[in-house]
Structure 1
Amino acid sequence: MSKKLTIGMFGFGVVGQGLYDIIKTKNLNLEIKKFVIKNADKKRTLPAELFTTDPNAILDDPEINTVVELIDDAEAAFEITKRALTSGKNVVSANKKMIATHLEELINIQNQHGTSLLYEGAVCGSIPIIRNLEEYYDNELLHSVSGIFNGSSNYILSKIFNENQNYDVALKKAQDLGFAETDPTLDVGGFDPKFKLAIVASHAYGIYINPDEILNLGIDKLGNADIRYAREKNFKIKLIPLAKEIENHRVVLYVLPKFIGKDHILANVENEYNGVLVKAAFADEQFFLGKGAGGHPTGSAVLSDITALRYDYKYEYKKHLESQQVTYSTDYTFKVYFRYEDEDVLENIQFSSISERFYSDDHKYVIGTINLQEIIDKRDLIHQDGNFLAEIL
């Protein structure tokens, strides 16, 4: 028999509204007792007495046993989550930055207080990747987890490659549709997929890694010359996070734009869709596809966590408990395309080898192999205006 959940919800934006729409159509033994919102004057679609600006109305209410946290501010979300877990309330969150940054501390708090924090909605919208890594791949040796984790940048790239739109037009359209924020840096700069990658790495490999230590370069420096190069070579460009185990139980993590062949499985993940590609020793290659942005897709993942709490579900973090620990490494060499403006920049970057150089009136590029640590060390140089770096798969 499932237990009744009395819910206090922080935030009533796109995902909160999407979640409420889904809940009211079903008989799930759930009740949302209170919403805490930032703006008291905003017109709401629900009765005014359901809303308050006081967090204590939820956190101090003994009847509320479940907190759903759907706000943007990562530090405020962390304080809410910490207080709720400490006071015996379970929490469902979709805040990837908060979870990626504070995961180890949050796991310790749960263990101490016997509470549960679930966050399927924080990673890849409607795709149940966390639950699969926890349950299905719990004993599986994973070679890599990669994919398209950010619907906004993927939407922009789809418009560029499928409809010949330029970057600025595609970005504006993504913003108009609510797929990208007014300040799109989190998405197009690769920060959003980096937070998701840190969470995935924890469930896939049992490592806690501060997101600040993971390299992320985005698509915000993408230029017409790069798009032309991709078309000539029959490539598409996708923004792809990668978690990959290499020799000696080391794991590499990074987020980079990649040139991929049109027959690659990720080449056909378009618009706001996300795709997760898992390569495992025994199960071989498996692929998950689903909507990664929007109120109802993310709302459905949050709801799946809420309903799991009716049966006292919690993540077990089995990979963290295994004796065969893996370590994070940035010593990894791969092939890249690097477009640059200033010859001095190229002279200051150590490529392991260069196989192709191109000069024209309007741009220059090299194709070569480079070590991940070198990109991290020279990141500001590599990513300054006029330069663009992408991996070639």
Structure 2
Amino acid sequence: MDNHKQLTIGLFGFGVVGEGLYKVLQQTPSLKASIKKVCIKDAGKKRNAPDELFTTDKDEILNDSSINVIVEVINEADAAFQIVSTALKNGKHVVSASKKMISENLNSLLQLQKDTGKSFLYEAAACASIPVIRNLEEYYDNDLLHSIKAIVNGSTNFILTKMFEEKLDFKSALLLAQQLGFAESDPSLDVDGYDAVYKWSFLLTHAYGITAQYSDIVFNGIRNIHAADALVAREKNLDIKLVASAQKLNNGKVAAFVLPQFVEKDDHLSFVKNEYNGVVIESGFADKQFFYGKGAGSFPTASAVLSDISALRYQYQYEYKKLYHHSPLELTDEYHVKVFLSFDDIKYIPKDKFEWIEEWHADKERKYLVGVLPFSEIKNTTWWKENNTSLILAPKAIIEDVAVRKLKQKSLQLAGILD
């Protein structure tokens, strides 16, 4: 596609993002991109655009040879995958914002890009207005990327901010998020961590060449976080965030998860409040880089879609350098993590699974301990999500096995106190 070629767009979905894109394109004539048709489900719904723009027949768009770009921003993952795969096979470039669809079909989508040679871009699926995929693709070599940690879900971050700053409990903060449109009426995708782990699964591909199913990554949301946990955090001068994390270990493998975590006040992620997202990338020579921006909403997401559309003017494609040109890294469970656990009754907590326990508070109505667990214990069991238990990682949570042995020799064995 040369720079002067008109981009003729077939758009699927006219919700918050679709309509946002329609408005934004009208304000950017220099892009030489226009929407020819929009496919929608419900023909009867009133929309802020001319009626002749809309169709309910997807084939009218997919089989139109004058349409050279498909933009897909719908909510149903299976339908989205059908649209994207058909469009690529029909010789069209595709821009998508559907993180669930990308996460569930990543290997097929990688193969389709190879087979068709067409561009499939999805910056908008990761952190809305933050260009994180493009940065991982262009700037970081495998050897140089030490770690990436991020707040990738605006809804949960909004809820946690309100629990902290206005001392609301989880239910009240969730209700407020729903009233303001930051959380869906069924908030489980956000508050149970699914949305964040979908994004993390394909960000790991761009960061480290890992092609994992989201179900291979340990994740949890914020549903179990108590007002009492926020109180403890405040006493210790920490914040609580839902952090997506990936770190290269000394053995060359990657520790990755999406879990609630205590964050120190001088940590960049502590600065990320309400519906904003933040990404901290640490590399060999550049030290830390911090990206910050709106992680949700009509125009921020449309701006990422727009950036992908404009990249198509110069044949931009993801190269997946870490996957195809380097040795892809792999995930590992062979490390330990320091955790904070709060609970109602110690009988539900398998104390014998801990390497050691550093703190233990039984005096309050909500009891808690701080200790070190093998990560495999979290990956392979669910007791830490059950019986009103809340697990939050310590600020520097990952401890590699050599360090564990050293610390263990030094650590006070508190087992006697606990029995």
1:230 touches 1:236 (CA, 8 Å); kept in 2? yes
1:353 maps to which residue? 356
Which letter maps to 1:137? Y
Select 2:182's aligned residue among 179, 184, 189.
Answer: 179
Partner of 2:86: 83
Match of 1:387 in 2: 389
**Is 1:17 aligned to residue 24 of structure 2?**
no
Letter matched to residue 216 of structure 1: F
**Runs of at least 4 residues off by over 6 Å:** none
Question: Amino acid of the residue matched to residue 233 of structure 1?
Answer: K
Identify unmatched segments of 5+ residues in structure 1.
none
Matched, 1:248 2:247: no
**Preserved contact between residue 62 and residue 86 of structure 2 (Cα < 8 Å):** yes
- After the TM superposition, which residues 62-141 of structure 1 pair with which residues of structure 2 at under 5 Å, given as runs? 62-138=65-141, 141=144
**Secondary structure in structure 1 of the residue aligned to 2:353:** coil
Equivalent residue in structure 2 for 1:311, among 314, 318, 326: 314
Runs of 5+ unmatched residues, structure 2? 396-419
Aligned CA RMSD, in angstroms, stands at 1.3
Q: Say whether residues 1:200 and 2:203 are aligned partners.
A: yes
Name the % identity. Answer: 48
The worse-fitting range, judged by mean Cα deviation, of 128-137 and 158-167 is: 158-167
Aligned to 1:163: 166
CA distance in structure 2 between the partners assigned to 1:180 and 1:69 by the alignment: 21
CA distance in 1, matches of 2:41, 2:110: 28
Q: Which residue pairs with 1:262 in the alignment?
A: 265
Aligned residues: 392
The equivalent residue for 2:9 is: 7
Higher CA-based Rg: 2
User: How far apart are the structure 2 equivalents of 1:342 and 1:378?
Assistant: 18
C-alpha contact (below 8 Å) 2:167/2:227 kept by paired residues: no
1:253 maps to a residue whose letter is: A
CA separation of 1:292 and 1:248: change in aligned 2, threshold 3 A: same
Bigger CA drift: 370-379 or 59-68? 370-379
- Give the CA deviation at 1:342: 3.2
Alignment of 1:189-338 (within 5 A): 189-338=192-341
Query: 1:349 Cα shift?
Result: 6.4
Are positions 1:60 and 2:50 aligned together? no
User: 1:163, CA displacement in angstroms?
Assistant: 2.1
Per-residue Cα deviation, 1:37-57 (whole angstroms, up to 9, x for no partner) = 111111011111111111111
With over 3 angstroms needed to count, the CA separation of the structure-2 counterparts of 1:232 and 1:361, relative to structure 1, is closer
How many Å separate the matches in 2 of 1:335 and 1:320?
A: 31
Match in the other structure for 2:404: none
Kindly state the Cα deviation for residue 292 of structure 1 after the two structures are TM-superposed: 0.3
- The answer to whether the Cα contact below 8 Å between 1:145 and 1:278 also exists between their aligned partners in 2 is yes
In 1: Cα distance, 2:127 partner to 2:210 partner: 20
CA distance in 2, matches of 1:38, 1:360: 56
Distance 1:38 1:342 in 2: 49
For residue 60 of structure 1, report the CA deviation from its aligned partner: 1.1
Instruction: Give the Cα separation in 1 of the matches to 2:301 and 2:369.
Output: 40
Q: Which amino acid aligns with 2:121?
A: L
2:339–2:373: 8 Å Cα contact kept in structure 1?
yes
For the residue of structure 2 that corresponds to 1:328, the secondary structure is coil
SS in 1 for 2:4: coil
Letter in 2 for 1:17: E
Are residues 61 and 282 of structure 1, via their aligned partners in 2, closer, same or farther at CA, if it must alter by over 3 Å? Answer: same
AA partner of residue 165 (structure 1): L
Q: Aligned with 1:242: secondary structure?
A: strand
